[in-house]
Amino acid sequence: LGTALAGALKKLGEHTVVDEEIMEACLKEVTRALLQADVNVQYVKNIVKRVNINELAAGLNARKLLEKAVFTELVNMLEGEGAQNAQNEGVTTKREKYAPKKGVPNVVMFVGLQGCGKTTTCTKYAHHYQKKGFKPALVCADTFRAGAFDQLKQNATKARIPFYGSYTETDPAKIASDGVERFKAEKNDLIIVDTSGRHKQESALFEEMRAVAEAVNPDMTIFVMDSSIGQAASDQAAAFKNTVDVGSVVVTKLDGHAKGGGAISAVAATRAPIVFIGTGEHIDEFEAFDAKPFVSRLLGLGDWTGFIDKIADVIPADQQPELLDKLAQGQFTMRILYEQFANIQKMGPMSAVMSMIPGFGNDVMPKGQEKQSQAKIKRMMCMMDSMTDEELDTTSLKLLQDPKRMERIGRGAGRSPMDVVELIEEYKRLAKMMGKMKGLKAPKKGGYGQS
Ligand code: GDP
Ligand code: MG
């Protein structure tokens, strides 16, 4: 092609290849760190798969960029949006974190295994919103654990929060609905229902939860999870999610030695965001959840702000290859795509790392389907061969999508117009991805991890 652009691309390609070993080592390192932090194996695989490798384009510090990518991915997962992606379940919708609304009775039900910190968390939650001007009230629907009502009573009294419970009634659903009715009548606007737990997930617990949920029809069901349960988090969270409509998660005991990675798995399993974390036994040891510092700690990156600095350090502005500039200006063309395909073909048998050439993640080159992918690439290059210079160098979709042109391109390559449509779709997808590389241009403090 002989253009300066092609030269830049070539350089880029070389960097990518040179970086293969480093990349593989980095991925391994990240995987190990995540597993050690109790993130579910499947999610680790998905995360690593989804990490947006195209930002490694410039052959910059691969390790730092990968860290940043994993960081962003985990933050997305935790904030609800990425959780669906993690399971490859189609459309992403950003989950709003639930917060009770003033002036209406908000009924919030807490569920979780025995000892996870439900009763403690109910009080903390009530206290938190009391400070914000709500009129909370606590209902003890735990008739299973001896002394449950006394515990709640004690907590509530200390925090000056009205409470309801019974020493004689044995039906938790009945207590729950009586309590909720009472507090609705008394104009409490945040009615918190504490439920019982069991040591294990067992059918009796789930039946009871369902009955209580039916009796009080909660506006929100909060799943409380002990952070120290580790790898079991994912299954447990899924079991609760399947029984009641878990919409929020509280992770407790993050003050201990727990690594907290289970929380990420729980969030992915419930697709519900973490709203608060418990950091101690005391009523004030309760924080609104913020994903960034949490993930920072989880990955052993230390302080989040420090992390930003580190990332900014590795991308000196004067080292931006020409390609990035072109891409930043939105100049991703069919010719660039062609050159990238050619690079891939030159490399012969695909490895995961080789497919990390900018923009060519796992969808273009899924592992185990290298042969099919190669054939697909060949087919697309063949169609590009029947394009005019104008078509190769344009950034106008309108021009490319002209039916007459599409038909001619297809015919020239012995392909159907549908194949040309497929090529253009691929181009569009990659162009969009390349558009994101803009972010690499001028790293600013605070600019990363927002994605
Ligand atoms: P429940 O059975 O789910 O209602 O759990 P409890 O609220 O009774 O809590 C069980 C134990 O965990 C109690 O000793 C609590 O003080 C303790 N606990 C709850 N939350 C936290 C926390 O965030 N940090 C620590 N260190 N202990 C907690
Ligand atoms: Mg309890």
Tell me the per-residue pLDDT of 153-169, one tens digit each, with 9 for 90 and over. 999 999 999 999 999 99
Helix (H, G, I), strand (E, B) or coil at 303: coil
Q: Which ligand is nearest to the CA of 276?
A: 1
Atom of ligand 1 nearest to the CA of 278: 23
* Protein residues whose CB sits closer than 6 Å to any atom of ligand 1: 112, 114-120, 197, 252-253, 255-256, 278-281
Residue 232 resides in a domain: yes
- Ranges of residues in the chain with a pLDDT under 70 are 1-27, 29-30, 33, 37, 50-69, 80-95, 199-201, 256-259, 297-330, 340, 343-371, 433-451
Residue 422 resides in a domain: no
Do the Cβ atoms of 201 and 239 come closer than 8 Å? yes
Residue 116 resides in a domain: yes
State the amino acid at position 250 in one-letter form: V
Distance 56 CA to ligand 2 centre (A): 49
Residue-wise pLDDT tens digits, 175-208: 999 999 999 999 999 999 999 987 666 788 889 9
Query: Which burial class, exposed, middle or buried, applies to 63 when counting CB atoms under 10 A from its CB (0-12, 13-18, 19+)?
Result: middle
pLDDT for residue 315: 32
* Residue having the nearest C-alpha atom to atom 9 of ligand 1: 117
Atom of ligand 1 nearest to the CA of 124: 20
* Residue having the nearest C-alpha atom to atom 14 of ligand 1: 281
Q: How many CB atoms lie within 10 A of CB 66?
A: 24
Atom of ligand 1 nearest to the CA of 256: 26
Q: Which ligand is nearest to the CA of 115?
A: 1
CATH number assigned to the domain comprising residue 186: 3.40.50.300
Strands of 99-254 (E only): list them. Answer: 106-111, 136-141, 163-164, 190-195, 220-226, 246-252
Do the Cβ atoms of 405 and 386 come closer than 8 Å? no
Q: Starting at the earlier edge strand, list the strands of the sheet with 106-111.
A: 163-164, 136-141, 190-195, 106-111, 220-226, 246-252, 274-278, 286-288
d(CA 268, CA 259): 17
d(CA 441, CA 435): 11
The phi, psi pair for 283, rounded to 5°, reads -60, -30
Give the residue numbers spanning the domain of 171: 106-290
Place of tokens 């160098």: 393
Distance 432 CA to ligand 1 centre (A): 47
Residue 11 resides in a domain: no
- In the DSSP assignment, the letter for residue 97 is P
Helix (H, G, I), strand (E, B) or coil at 278: strand
The phi, psi pair for 153, rounded to 5°, reads -60, -45
Atom of ligand 1 nearest to the CA of 116: 3
Mutate to test the pocket of ligand 1, among 145, 199, 281, 287 (most ligand atoms within 8 A of CB): 281
CA 352 from chain centre, in angstroms, equals 22
Q: Which ligand is nearest to the CA of 279?
A: 1
Q: How many CB atoms lie within 10 A of CB 101?
A: 12
pLDDT for residue 56: 53
* Residue having the nearest C-alpha atom to atom 20 of ligand 1: 117
Residue 57 resides in a domain: no
Joined together, the tokens standing for residue 323 give: 């390609």
Joined together, the tokens standing for residue 33 give: 């760190």
Residue 142 resides in a domain: yes
Task: Please report, for the chain, how many H helices and E strands are present, in that order.
Answer: 20, 8
Percent of residues in the chain assigned helix, strand, coil, to nearest 5 = 55, 10, 35
Mutate to test the pocket of ligand 1, among 120, 127, 149, 255 (most ligand atoms within 8 A of CB): 120
Counting the structural domains of the chain, the total is: 1
Atom of ligand 1 nearest to the CA of 120: 7
Atom of ligand 1 nearest to the CA of 142: 4
Distance 312 CA to ligand 2 centre (A): 46
pLDDT for residue 186: 96
Q: Which ligand is nearest to the CA of 143?
A: 2
d(CA 314, CA 104): 51
Residue 281's alpha-carbon distances to 30, 127, 158, in angstroms, are 32, 14, 14
Residue 122 resides in a domain: yes
d(CA 75, CA 417): 41
pLDDT for residue 443: 34
Do the Cβ atoms of 431 and 397 come closer than 8 Å? no
pLDDT for residue 121: 98
d(CA 24, CA 63): 10
Residue 199 resides in a domain: yes
Query: Which burial class, exposed, middle or buried, applies to 439 when counting CB atoms under 10 A from its CB (0-12, 13-18, 19+)?
Result: middle
* pTM > 0.95: no
Which residues partner with 223 through β-bridges?
A: 111, 249
Place of tokens 């003033």: 102
